Amino acid sequence: MIVYISNEVSPAHRHLKYRRLSDAKQKEVHEKFLQICDDPLLEDILQYLRLPSFDCSEYSDEEILLILQYMYLHFDFPVKYNINMTTLRNFLFQVYKNYNEVPFHNFRHSFCVTQMMYAMILKVDLSKLIDDLEILVLITSCICHDLDHPGYNNLYQVNARTELALRYNDISPLENHHCSVAFHILDLPDANIFENFSSDMFRTVREGIIRCILATDMARHNEILTQFRDAVTEGFDFKNQLHINLLCMILIKVADISNEARPMNVAEPWLDKLFKEFFTQSDTEKKEGLPVTPFMDRDKITKPSSQCSFIGYVLLPLFEALVQLFPELNEMIVYPVRYALDYYRKLNEAVKDEQRQQRKSVVTLDAQASTITSPSSPGVANSIQAQLEQGMLQQKSEEETSILSDEGGQSMVDLTEEEEEETKTEVAVSEKTLKFKISTERVDIKAEISNWFKLVEIRDLKKKVLKIFINFENVKLRSNKEMIKKKKKFYAWKPTHNSGVRSHPGSRKGSREKAQDFEITRAYRFDRTNRTSESGADKRSWSSSENTSSYEDKRSDNNSYEKRYHTCSPTTAIPEGSGEFPNALLSDKLKKLNEEAEQPKPQSSSTRSPDLKRFMNRVVRDFRGNKSKVANGVKNTEDSSSKSDSKCQTNANRSQHKEPKSPSWMSALLQNIKLRTASHETDSQ
C-alpha cells in the first residue's frame, strides 16, 4: 500500500530517497508485528510505560508497535469507537512505514512523544476531566505528529523553497505535511481507524488532530503558551471547548519536547541524535548557500550552551505553565528539567573555563598552537561532559534534593549577549524568520501586519525625502563653495556688502539661503562688470549683453528655488568667450566641462533620485544653453562693440573679430588661449 509522498522536485524530498525504510525492513517488521500482535504486555512493562524513564531503545520496532496498540486498548477505544483491530494494526504499520530513517524525527521519536503523553494523561487522570474522544485525538496526534519528517526543519523548507514550502505557502510546511500524510493514511480503507465514525465525530477528530499537529510548530510556541497562561489565570474551565483545545495543544507541545524530562541515560542519546540532525541541516545550508540556521550551526553552538538556552527559555516556561494547572506533574516533568538545566549550566561553565584556558595556552604556547584543539570544538564539551557526568552522577542525590526543593527557583539562564546570539532558540528564530502566523482567536494578526506596513511606508518615505533633501543641499553647497573658490582663485574676488539682498524681488527677509544665492550671483555680476571695466569695457554696454539680460529676466520672471539656483550655478558662472583667461588650468577645466556636456547623459541613473536627476539634466541643459548663449554673446559683444567702441574689445573679442566665423565657443576660447600663449612667448623673447 503506497501512501501519498512526492519524492521528486524538492531538495528536501531528494534527501528522503536515502532515508526511507527499506522494503525488506518494512516487511520484516510487519511480519513480526503480526506474529506478536495478540500477545499481552507484561505488568512490569505496563508500569514502566507510565514513567518518563521509559527507554524505548530496549524494545524492537514490532514491540513498539505492540505497545502503541496497547495504548488504544488501555483506553478501550476499539470498543468505545468501534475500531476494528486489524484496521488499527494496519494503521499503526502504515504510520511506521511513513516515518523516515532520519537521526531524530523518526518513528521512535513519535513513540517517545506518545509515551510521554500517555504517562501524563494517566498521571493527571485526564479521562475524568475531558472527553474520551479528546484522548483519542491526543494519542493519535502524537503518533502521527512528525510523519514523513525529512530531517530538515521549516526554516530549511522555506529558505530552500522546497516542494513542501511551495505547497503550503511557507505556513508550517512540515506540520501541514505531517497532518496531510496522516489523513492520507486514514484515507486508506484498511487503515482508517475512524471508518465507523459519524461525519460529525470524524469532523471533530479531524479538527482536533489538525489543531494538535499544527501546534507543534515552534514558530507558534509563544502565541499558544500566552493564550494558555491567560486561560489558566482567568480560571481554566474544563467545560470550555476553547480551554480544552488550548490544553490539548499544550499537552502535545510538552510531550514533543519532553526529552529533557527523562533521566540522563535516556535523554542524552536522543540529544545526540537531535544534534546530528541539526548539524546535517546546517552543513547542507552552508553547502547550498542558504541562510544557516543559527541554533543548528556546529561552529556556533555547543550542546551545553544550546541546552541552557532551550531549557531556560522554552522548556521550563512551558512546563511550568502546565504545572500551574496540574501541580501533580511537577515531579514528573519540572523537577527533572530543572536538574537538567543545572547540569548543563555547570557543563557550560566548565566548557567556557576550558576554552579560556585553551585560549591562554594558545597565546603562551604559540609554537604548539596548531596541535591544540579548537576552543569551540565539540571535543572539549564532550570530554568535559564525560568528566562531569562521572562527578555529577555521584553527587546527583545530594544536589537533586536542593534543586528540586527550589520550586520557585530561577528558570532562566543568565546568558551573556554573545551567548544568547550563539544559542538563539528555535522559537525566536522561527518566529522571526517565518513570515506568517496562523490566526488564532485572540490575536489580530491582520491588524499587526497592517500596522507594520504603515510603519515601513512612513519610514521609507522619510528616508526618501531626506535623501532628496541631502542631495540638493550637497549639490548646492558644493556649487556655492566651488564658485567662491574659483572666484577667489582666479578673480581675487571679495564679497560685496549688502549687495542687493533687499532688492531681490520676492526674497523673504531672513532667508539666508536666498540671500546667499543672490549674493553670489550679484557678486559674480559685479565681478564681471569690474573685470570688463578694468579691461576698459563699458558697464552699460556690458550689462546689455545677453547674459546680463538673462540674469535680469530671471530676477524678474521667477524666484523659484531652482531658477535662482541655476542663475548662480557653476555652469552659468563660466566666463564667456569675451572674458580673460588667466591660465591654461582654467582652459583645461572649461575644456573638460565642455567635453562632459557634449557627452550624452545616460537615460537612467539608478543611483540618483528622480528629482536629483531632473535637476542635473537641467544643469546640463543650462550649460549647453549657456554655451550657445556664450557663443552668441561673443557675437553680440562683437556686434555691439563693433557698433559702439572698438576700445571696449578685449583680446578675446579682438581674436573673435579676426575670426568672426568661429564655429563654437570652445574654439573661440582655445583660439584665445593660443593667441595669448603666442603673445606671451613673443613678449618673453
What are the C-alpha distances in Å from 236 to residues 222, 242, 315? 19, 10, 21
Those residues with Cβ within 8 angstroms of residue 527's Cβ, 6 or more apart along the chain or in another chain: 487, 491, 493
Residue 274 C-beta: closest distance to ligand PCG, Å: 6
Among 152, 228, 310, 615, binds ligand PCG (CB under 6 A): 310
- Does 260 bind ligand PCG (CB under 6 A)? Our answer is yes
CA distance 191 to 88: 7
Q: Kindly tell me which of 64 and 318 has the beta carbon lying closer to ligand PCG.
A: 318
Determine if 107 is a binding residue for ligand PCG (CB under 6 A): no
Return d(Cα 514, Cα 517) in angstroms, integer.
Answer: 5
Q: Does 271 bind ligand PCG (CB under 6 A)?
A: yes
Query: What would the x/- binding string for ligand PCG be over residues 138 to 177, using CB under 6 A?
Result: ---------------x------------------------
Q: Of the listed pieces 58-66, 253-261, 281-289, 667-675, which binds ligand PCG according to CB under 6 A?
A: 253-261
Cβ atoms 293, 429 nearer than 8 A: yes
Would you count residue 653 as binding ligand PCG (CB under 6 A)?
no
Residue 532 and residue 539 in contact, taking contact as beta carbons nearer than 8 Å = yes
From CA 377, how far away is CA 301, in angstroms rounded?
9
Does 576 contact ligand PCG by CB under 6 A?
no
Q: Is 179 in the site for ligand PCG (CB under 6 A)?
A: no
In whole angstroms, what is the distance from residue 393 CA to residue 406 CA?
Answer: 19
**Does residue 216 belong to the site contacting ligand PCG (CB under 6 A)?**
yes
The 87-106 site mask, x for binding ligand PCG (CB under 6 A), equals ------------------x-
What is the identity of the amino acid at 167? R
For residues 525 and 548, is the Cβ–Cβ distance under 8 A? yes
Contact (CB, 8 A) for 662 and 656: yes
CB-count burial class (<10 Å; 0-12, 13-18, 19+) for 567: buried
Residue 105 annotated as catalytic: yes
* Binding of residue 116 to ligand PCG (CB under 6 A): no
* Smallest gap from residue 260 Cβ to ligand PCG (A): 5
CB of 610 to ligand PCG, least distance (A): 48
Per-residue 3-state assignment (H helix, E strand, C coil) for 6-19: CCCCCHHHHHHHCC
Nearest approach, Cβ of residue 171 and ligand PCG (Å): 15
Q: Is residue 257 a contact point for ligand PCG (CB under 6 A)? A: yes
Contact (Cβ atoms closer than 8 angstroms) between residue 100 and residue 20? yes
The helix/strand/coil state of 59 is coil
Q: Which of residues 426, 517, 519, 546 is near ligand PCG by CB under 6 A?
A: 426
Question: Closest CB to ligand PCG among 424 and 554?
Answer: 424
DSSP 8-state symbol, 20: B
Element housing 478 (H / E): helix 445-486
Beta bridge partners of 100: 20
Residue 256 touching ligand PCG (CB under 6 A): yes
Closest CA to 178 of 204, 205, 140: 140
In the complex, the smallest distance separating the C-beta of residue 347 from ligand PCG, rounded to whole angstroms, is 14
Question: Using CB under 6 A, which of 136, 179, 191, 218 touches ligand PCG?
Answer: 218
- How many CA within 13 A on the CB side of residue 188? 21
Cβ contact 223:440 at 8 Å: yes
Closest contact distance (angstroms) between CB of 175 and ligand PCG is 8
| Cβ at position 343, least distance to ligand PCG in Å | 12
The residue range among 5-13, 60-68, 306-314, 447-455 that interacts with ligand PCG, by the rule CB under 6 A, is 306-314
Least distance from C-beta 189 to ligand PCG, angstroms?
A: 30
Q: Which of 30, 105, 221, 504 is catalytic?
A: 105
Q: What is the 8-class DSSP label of residue 190?
A: G
Q: Is 297 in the site for ligand PCG (CB under 6 A)?
A: no
Judged by CB under 6 A, the number of residues near ligand PCG is 14
Just list the catalytic residues: 105
| Interface residues toward ligand PCG, by CB under 6 A | 105, 153, 216, 218, 256-257, 259-260, 271, 274, 306-307, 310, 426
